[in-house]
């Protein structure tokens, strides 16, 4: 029998009312372009871009929307940007019924970090950052217990 | 709607193994039944917890989820999970493997 590495589970944040996007294999300028275009088209007020690994970015918008509107926005971006990764991620979120973005480390990938902010950040962005802090705290405590 | 903490990944868990048996009914149909044996088998799988609740409960639930593997997709409040973790999963351990978010 092959021996497997023991690992910690991946921690993420899920909800239905925050518009989130997960871009794979794209440059930062392209991600910023799509974030700005989406924000203006759907009047989402502001956004935060997080870098999850090389050429992989997460976008999270500030305004609260319904789940129906949320998926409408993600589908719109996936269709126009022709990003295969985003289209696949969109299907996964539809199956689950809520959208999730990773907060902790995932195998060799580091935890996502904020690289760009634009517009207002006082609604969903604020809540998301607060929860992210909590998850990071939990992760840190978990690592400490693993070390012992 | 509240924000939830998602705990997900691949795992190896010990699940109770079941044994099938048949009984011929009066009307002639052979009906299949399952009985629980005392044995367990180790299986690989993927699963996910979606926890919601207060900070302290969330922390405790995530710690508990380190060795209780979810039975598929489990959407539960952290408080309920802490009351009866065995209802929502099996004993096991998380393994390093590629998963979708």
For A3-23, what is each residue's pLDDT tens digit? 455 678 899 999 999 999 999
Residue A2 lies in a domain: no
Q: Could you tell me which residues are beta bridge partners of residue B15?
A: B41
Q: What is the pLDDT of residue A143?
A: 78
Residue B77 confidence class, pLDDT cut points 50, 70, 90: very high
**Are the beta carbons of A5 and B95 separated by less than 8 Å?**
yes
Q: How many CB atoms lie within 10 A of CB B16?
A: 11
Closest B-chain CA to A107:
B96
Mean pLDDT throughout B71-100? Answer: 88
If one counts the domains in chain A, the total is: 1
Residue A1 lies in a domain: no
Q: What is the residue-wise DSSP string for chain A?
A: -----B-PPEEEEEESSEEEEEEES--HHHHHHHHHHHHHHHT--EEEEEEEETTEEEEEEEEE--HHHHHHHHHHHHHHHT-HHHHHHHHHHHHHTSEEEE-S-BTTBPPPEEEEEEE--SSHHHHHHHHHHHHHHHHHHHHHHHH-
CB nearest to A92's CB, from B4, B5, B100: B100
**Are the beta carbons of B66 and A142 separated by less than 8 Å?**
yes
Sort out which chain B residues have CB atoms less than 8 A from A101's CB and list them. Answer: 101
Query: Domain range for residue A105?
Result: 12-147
- Taking the CA of residue A35 and the nearest CA in chain B, the distance in Å comes to 20
Q: What is the pLDDT of residue A2?
A: 45
Length of chain A: 148
Report the mean per-residue pLDDT for chain B: 90
Chain A residues 125-144 with a CB less than 8 Å from chain B: 127-128, 131, 134-135, 137-138, 141-142
For A75-129, what is each residue's pLDDT tens digit? 999 999 999 999 999 999 999 999 999 998 888 888 999 999 999 999 888 988 9
Closest B-chain CA to A16:
B1
Q: What is the pLDDT of residue B99?
A: 66
Q: What is the pLDDT of residue A5?
A: 54
pLDDT at B1 exceeding the cut of 80:
no
For B26-54, what is each residue's pLDDT tens digit? 999 999 999 999 999 999 999 999 999 98
CB nearest to A15's CB, from B3, B55, B101: B3
DSSP B35: E
Closest CA to A90 of A101, A82, A78: A78
Residue A3 lies in a domain: no
DSSP A9: P
User: What is the ipTM score, two decimals?
Assistant: 0.83
- Taking the CA of residue B25 and the nearest CA in chain A, the distance in Å comes to 40
Residue B69 confidence class, pLDDT cut points 50, 70, 90: very high
For A56-68, what is each residue's pLDDT tens digit? 999 999 999 999 9
Q: What is the pLDDT of residue B80?
A: 94
Residue A4 lies in a domain: no
- Taking the CA of residue A15 and the nearest CA in chain B, the distance in Å comes to 5
Residue A1 confidence class, pLDDT cut points 50, 70, 90: very low
For the record, the structure tokens of A8 come out as: 């910690």
């Amino acid at each position: 029998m092959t021996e497997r590495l023991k690992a910690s589970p991946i921690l993420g944040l899920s909800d239905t009312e925050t518009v989130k996007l997960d871009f794979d294999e794209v440059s930062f300028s392209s991600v910023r372009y799509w974030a700005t275009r989406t924000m203006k088209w759907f009047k989402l007020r502001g956004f935060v871009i997080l870098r999850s690994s090389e050429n992989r970015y997460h976008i999270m918008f500030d305004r609260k929307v319904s789940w129906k509107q949320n998926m409408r926005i993600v589908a719109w971006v996936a269709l126009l940007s022709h990003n295969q990764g985003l289209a696949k991620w969109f299907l996964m979120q539809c199956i689950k019924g809520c959208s999730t973005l990773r907060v902790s480390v995932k195998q060799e990938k580091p935890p996502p970090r904020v690289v760009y902010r634009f517009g207002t950040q006082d609604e969903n962005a604020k809540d998301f950052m607060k929860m992210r802090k909590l998850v990071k705290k939990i992760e840190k405590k978990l690592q400490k217990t693993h070390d012992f | 709607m509240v924000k939830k903490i998602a705990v997900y990944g691949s795992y190896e868990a010990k699940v109770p193994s079941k044994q099938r048996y048949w009984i011929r009914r009066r009307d002639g149909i052979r009906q299949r039944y399952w009985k629980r044996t005392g044995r367990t088998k180790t299986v690989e799988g993927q699963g996910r917890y979606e926890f919601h609740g207060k900070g302290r409960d969330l922390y405790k639930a995530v710690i508990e989820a380190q060795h209780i593997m979810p039975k598929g997709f489990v959407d539960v409040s952290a408080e309920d999970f802490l009351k009866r973790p065995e209802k929502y999963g099996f004993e096991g351990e998380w393994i390093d493997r590629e998963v979708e978010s």
